[in-house]
Structure 1
Amino acid sequence: MLHSKLKQYFGYETFRNGQEETVQNILDGHDVLSILSTGAGKSLCYQLPAYITGGRVLIISPLISLMDDQVVQMKLNGEKNAVAIHSALSIDEKRDIFKSLSQYQFIFCSPEFIYEEHNFKHFKSIDFKYIVLDEAHCLSEWGFDFRPHYALISKVTQYFNHAQVIALTATLTDKMVEDIQEITKRTFKIHKEGLNRSNIMYHHFNFESEEEKDKFLLNEIKESGPTIIYVSSKKKCHELADIIYKEGYLTGIYHGDLDYQERTTVQTQFINNDIKIIVATSAFGMGINKQDVRTVIHYHLPTSPSKYVQEVGRAGRDGEPSQALSLFTSRDLLILNHLAHDHGIDLDMLNLYEQGYQLNEEVTTNIKFLLELYPFEQLKDKIQAEQDQKLAAFHYMKNYIQSNYCRRSYLMQYFNESVNQKDKCCDNCNNVKLLKLPNIKEVKRRISYQNRLNAIF
């Protein structure tokens, strides 16, 4: 029956790994936590059950770009009853959507948006059959110190207590599973596929200086195919994109300070291959439906294996050979260390708040959110546990930099997975070569008057 429904609604003959099991668990009435590799088609896992049962779906998603991309994809596939409602919309746009909210089958929003009482009142009368937590690892990674609205998801899952909860992600540790079950107040039937993407080859390069690193990068992008380059800051995003542009390559920039239209334009240009290279912070890529990214370069490494595997997994979703390149100088360790210890809320802040000191408005608001769920001492234990976990992840990535061990196996061990790939694995296994997929220079270099004279004489 499932295969005929898959053909009817999506036109596919077969499921991808993990999709059929996830869909069946949902149709059997379970709350489901499904860990599927990047590019495995997680959206189908809730869309197909919704089509079969006719049930309405609330999708709680971490990023505006992710919501909008998924709605666009659904509309391209003929689905008219999907909408994303978020802070980037005008007051009039939000008002119009709210007026007809109950008519949509698929409704996307962020945890911050739905938690606001003046927004939540519009959702209360809708009989949701499914509540989807997209990119569910965010509940654990962000829910206690960065985006505390994620820690309050139980207010939604308990209000719609008859709705099934479907949590979907590509990377999850045992601790993250515990966090998600605690935050949602649900017990999940768990389905887990292997995280290893065998078509992605791992390379790591250590450099003596930033100049040496930049020189390597400019040489590599000549033949890297469609490429995402991840950096740690918005400032570096602009600096590096400028260097690449001056080298002659059309280059997109993506970070959190761009306005909605700028982000959407860059994303669309990259998906359509109008530009082949994106320089971005971690804000880019989650859920982006581009199948032919050939190279993911980390100019700066992230602070955890979970983030790294997520970002690397944006390469090669079409199954074709792809590569992950990480670049490192000793100076980068300072950046990594800073990011690993940059907590939205830490124990010092909690102690100061408890003693009556005035903190900035955002921190104060976030602490108040968390205190709705946990008393002070329990919250302190939670924050400490999160910081310990993040520090352990940071040290794991530090070891990746100097490791002589198989890089693929090392990363998978963090998720308690064992792999043994004998071909096209990593630089430490000595069985990989860099791809050779030419990128054409499209930026015409301006020639000065003096250069013209030199060319003539």
Structure 2
Amino acid sequence: MLQDELKKYFGYDTFRSGQEETIQFILDGHDVLSILSTGAGKSLCYQLPAYITGGRVLVISPLISLMDDQVAQMKLNGEKNVVAIHSALSREEKTDIFNHLSDFQFIFCSPEFIYEEHNFKYFRQLSFHYIVLDEAHCLSEWGFDFRPHYALISRVTDYFNNAQVIALTATLTNKMLGDIVQITKRTFKIHKEDLNRKNIAYHHFDFENEEEKDDWLLSEIKSSGPTIIYVSSKKKCHELANKIYKEGYLTGIYHGELDYQERTTVQLQFIKNEIKIIVATSAFGMGINKQDVRTVIHYHIPTSPSKYVQEIGRAGRDGLRSQAISLFTPRDLLILNHLANDHGIDIDMLNMYEQGYQLNEELKTNIQFLLELYPLTSLKDKIIAEQQQKEKAFQYMKYYIHLNSCRRKYLLNYFGENIEQLENCCDNCKNVELLKILNKKEVKHKTTYQNRLKVIF
């Protein structure tokens, strides 16, 4: 029985919701697409079959932080034959791993890394029982945008055509499903769990201006418990973290331009509760194994329901009451419009490419990648369809801002789920209260004699 194998390899008595069904599909020999809520233990779904069959696993993952966190977790559980290989490693480290690649049962890398010919030659020497597409929604959301390597994942699945493909994600629309099937050229056995996280309450607050928003936020973080605050830019990340720090709270920042060591340090400090508040761009938190995040605040709301559900799902993985809070000012619409229309590749760029205009090297390379998948005319149709889908998703989130009905029901309807929750739901249902979990001030500021005089008088 699978429960016996679970106990043998992981020490657990029972599976989490959706794990057993997914694993059984895999052991039955199917290519599997499993939609499990954030924090539902998706990594166990490929680890246990690998232990049972002894097969080697290639995990294609979107972020270095996600790979490193999963590798660290596996090592803590006693797994020695696991490795992540990526661009943040030194040349010597990568060479050493490549020289011993066949020693590892679990190998993590990004799509960009494995497509490099001088890297792929090492992978070609191995056989894989399973190819895991972690955060599989990225194939659809990023593959036709700024990371076209995701759209060419079939280079890997075709080459290792005897390997089973396991696609795992927390959110999936019919459009995403169609993209994943088209990109991988596989037919999947699908298991889908409800997206609803009952322990996460939804709140939304409108403000006249950013000053009001900041004042509310600085007051709220006093009692928000371990908190992630998502912002739209690196600049805002630094500005807001500085204000929070001045209020006396140890705060971390996280964005794509930090170096590898800085990002890793921030993650570890947050996981260990050495810092309780992180101000971050959307890359933070994907796969981070922190169970007790109590609050996720969106200083700027995301431009799609998929992004929003993914990001608020980083709260309350321990099953205890948590909250998702979105903030909005009228000026935010300018920022959101820019983000929603900031496509990696659009129809104008394709027309310029067709007419021989000089494009920057990265953009030109990305278009050439996609032309390996589609003829130019078909690619134009695909990019137009992508832009229309993104606009539809953005409009959906704009309505969320001014919504008068149930927020939970509205968001999950986007994914075809009809949810009704009678308690701990949302501000519009009027059955929630903000959490009160004290965050201790730990930053000691030096007091000048002028400040002392102000206190006295």
TM-score by length of 2: 0.99
Q: Does 1:429 align with 2:423?
A: no
Residue equivalent to 1:355: 355
- The aligned amino acid for 2:53 is T
Could you say what the CA RMSD is over the residues aligned between the two structures, in angstroms?
Answer: 0.8
Residue equivalent to 2:6: 6
Deviations 1:13-40 (CA, angstroms, capped at 9, x unpaired)? 0000000000000000000000000000
Residue equivalent to 1:230: 230
Aligned equivalents of 1:269 and 1:185: distance in 2? 41
What residue ranges of structure 2 are gaps of 5+ in the alignment?
Answer: none
Residue equivalent to 1:442: 442
Residues 219-298 of structure 1: matches in 2 within 5 Å? 219-298=219-298
Aligned equivalents of 2:286 and 2:103: distance in 1? 28
Cα shift at 1:456: 6.6
Residue equivalent to 2:59: 59
Q: Name segments (4+ residues, structure 1) moved above 6 Å.
A: none
- The aligned amino acid for 1:416 is G
Cα shift at 1:454: 5.0
Aligned equivalents of 2:189 and 2:349: distance in 1? 37
Residue equivalent to 2:309: 309
- The aligned amino acid for 2:86 is H
Aligned equivalents of 2:296 and 2:454: distance in 1? 40
- The aligned amino acid for 2:267 is Q
- The aligned amino acid for 2:19 is Q
Deviations 1:53-75 (CA, angstroms, capped at 9, x unpaired)? 00000000000000000000000
Deviations 1:95-147 (CA, angstroms, capped at 9, x unpaired)? 00000001100000000000010000000011100000000000000001210
Residues 26-425 of structure 1: matches in 2 within 5 Å? 26-425=26-425
Aligned equivalents of 2:34 and 2:455: distance in 1? 63
Deviations 1:363-382 (CA, angstroms, capped at 9, x unpaired)? 00000111111100000011
Tell me the secondary structure at the aligned position of residue 156 of structure 2.
Answer: helix
Cα shift at 1:451: 2.5
What residue ranges of structure 1 are gaps of 5+ in the alignment?
Answer: none
Aligned equivalents of 2:391 and 2:221: distance in 1? 33
- The aligned amino acid for 2:237 is C
Tell me the secondary structure at the aligned position of residue 436 of structure 1.
Answer: coil
Fraction of identical pairs, as percent: 80
Cα shift at 1:453: 4.9
Tell me the secondary structure at the aligned position of residue 429 of structure 1.
Answer: coil
- The aligned amino acid for 1:444 is K
Tell me the secondary structure at the aligned position of residue 17 of structure 2.
Answer: coil
- The aligned amino acid for 2:321 is P
Deviations 1:382-410 (CA, angstroms, capped at 9, x unpaired)? 11111111000000000000010100000
TM-score by length of 1: 0.99
Aligned equivalents of 1:451 and 1:140: distance in 2? 55
Tell me the secondary structure at the aligned position of residue 278 of structure 1.
Answer: strand
Aligned equivalents of 1:26 and 1:370: distance in 2? 30
Aligned equivalents of 1:127 and 1:354: distance in 2? 40
- The aligned amino acid for 2:260 is Y
Cα shift at 1:452: 3.7
Cα shift at 1:415: 0.1
Deviations 1:320-340 (CA, angstroms, capped at 9, x unpaired)? 000000000000111111100
Aligned equivalents of 1:368 and 1:145: distance in 2? 13
Tell me the secondary structure at the aligned position of residue 393 of structure 1.
Answer: helix
Aligned equivalents of 1:453 and 1:391: distance in 2? 56
Tell me the secondary structure at the aligned position of residue 59 of structure 1.
Answer: strand
Q: 1:454 to 1:417 in 2, by over 3 A?
A: closer
Aligned equivalents of 2:430 and 2:92: distance in 1? 58
